Structure 1
Amino acid sequence: MLGLGADRLRADMNRLLAFLFHQGVLDEQFLQLQQLQDESSPNFVSEVVNIYFHESEKLLRNLRSLLMDREFSDYKKIGIHLNQFMGSSSSIGAKRVRNVCVAFRAASEQNNRAGCLRALELLEHEYCFLKNKLHELFQIEQQRVLAAGVRYPMQN
């Protein structure tokens, strides 16, 4: 018999995922990533996403550093960082983050500093929202796994 809370936690996970898909935060690539997870690698998705978070935070710091430099004029560097960010965001299904990167890249291709600064703020906002929601999802998943492992004695 499954732990009493495991079904409720699975439903919570499904509701959160449905919300993230409905809001366009995630796309089907995230589902494909989940399909790669199995008993031999039960933490696959969270490990991949944590690598994404680590790399994304470096990219965000680099982008902010470039744009805060008053003498900045190398918009090609911004484009390189954004291409990396878009690729990694696409690979985990971070749809809204990827879309902001596309708009950010357009501003950088036009050497539009004000547009880049606005896009950076939006990118940081979308990234933080994604990070918070995926952390919430992984916490629920951990609780569900623990609850599913709890066995209750059968009553006679």
Structure 2
Amino acid sequence: MFFGVKFKSLCLWGFNHLLAKTGLPVWMLGSGADRLRADVNRLLAFLFHQGILDEQFLQLQQLQDESSPNFVSQVVNIYFQESEKLLRNLRSLLMERKLSDYKNIGIHINQLMGSSSSIGAKRVRNVCVAFRAASDQNNRTGCLRVLEVLEHDYCFLKNKLHELFQIEQQRILAGGVGYPMQN
């Protein structure tokens, strides 16, 4: 009897643990992989259609394989860390009341534009182009306006890519653990 109670609570823990990790009941894990793959494809199609991402993101995905299954998310997370530093620096340079340092602003914009291009962040890259134009004209007001757009588009990109990676992780878990359906 004791063994049965212990086993039952362990199984319940396992069920709750898998439910918490994937958001899916255990019996759906094996069949949910196809649905999750469709969710990934829909989200990617949306991001491409809206001009958030471009084909460079697909090229980045092609570099991922079994030996480095988290390659894309690791590269993108490094991009997020570095981009947030650049955005903070840009805001701080523009908030100085005296004279904005347009040379350093240009350097930061070029770094952000290059790293955005390398991961396929098309919309962020395009906003950087507009930011660079305002910076080249020493237009502080224009730079501040474009910075607002840049921060908004960056946050949108970050949220959507985190959503994409979460779905992808759920898909991997669902595909890797197959449980037969119980009648």
Give me the TM-score of the superposition, normalised by structure 1.
0.96
Determine which structure has more spread, i.e. the larger CA radius of gyration.
Answer: 2
Q: For residue 123 of structure 1, what is the amino acid of its counterpart?
A: L
Q: CA deviation at 1:154?
A: 8.2
The Cα RMSD (Å) is 1.2
Cα separation, 2, equivalents of 1:62 and 1:145: 37
Instruction: Please give the residue correspondences for 1:108-147 in structure 2 after superposition, counting only pairs within 5 Å.
Output: 108-147=135-174
| Identity across matched positions, percent | 88
Instruction: Using the TM superposition, name which of 70-79 and 136-145 deviates more.
Output: 70-79
Query: Hey, which bits of structure 1, 4+ residues long, moved more than 3 A?
Result: none
Q: 2:81 aligns with which of 14, 35, 54?
A: 54
Cα separation, 1, equivalents of 2:99 and 2:174: 53
User: Which residue does the alignment assign to 2:50?
Assistant: 23
User: Which residue does the alignment assign to 1:148?
Assistant: 175
Q: Unaligned regions of 5+ residues in structure 1, if any?
A: none
Instruction: Please give the residue correspondences for 1:98-117 in structure 2 after superposition, counting only pairs within 5 Å.
Output: 98-117=125-144
Q: CA deviation at 1:132?
A: 0.2
User: Which residue does the alignment assign to 2:60?
Assistant: 33
SS across alignment from 1:72: coil
Cα separation, 2, equivalents of 1:134 and 1:71: 37
Q: CA deviation at 1:72?
A: 2.6
The verdict on how the C-alpha distance between 1:154 and 1:70 changes in structure 2, with shifts beyond 3 A counting, is closer
Q: For residue 5 of structure 1, what is the amino acid of its counterpart?
A: G
The verdict on how the C-alpha distance between 1:138 and 1:154 changes in structure 2, with shifts beyond 3 A counting, is closer
User: Which residue does the alignment assign to 2:99?
Assistant: 72
1:63 paired to 2:73: no
Q: Unaligned regions of 5+ residues in structure 2, if any?
A: 1-28
Q: CA deviation at 1:80?
A: 0.1
Cα separation, 2, equivalents of 1:3 and 1:107: 52
SS across alignment from 1:3: helix
Q: For residue 73 of structure 1, what is the amino acid of its counterpart?
A: S
The verdict on how the C-alpha distance between 1:148 and 1:115 changes in structure 2, with shifts beyond 3 A counting, is same
Q: 1:43 aligns with which of 70, 78, 93?
A: 70
Instruction: Using the TM superposition, name which of 2-11 and 42-51 deviates more.
Output: 2-11
SS across alignment from 2:51: coil
Q: CA deviation at 1:52?
A: 0.1
Q: CA deviation at 1:71?
A: 1.3
1:97 paired to 2:124: yes
Cα separation, 2, equivalents of 1:48 and 1:79: 24
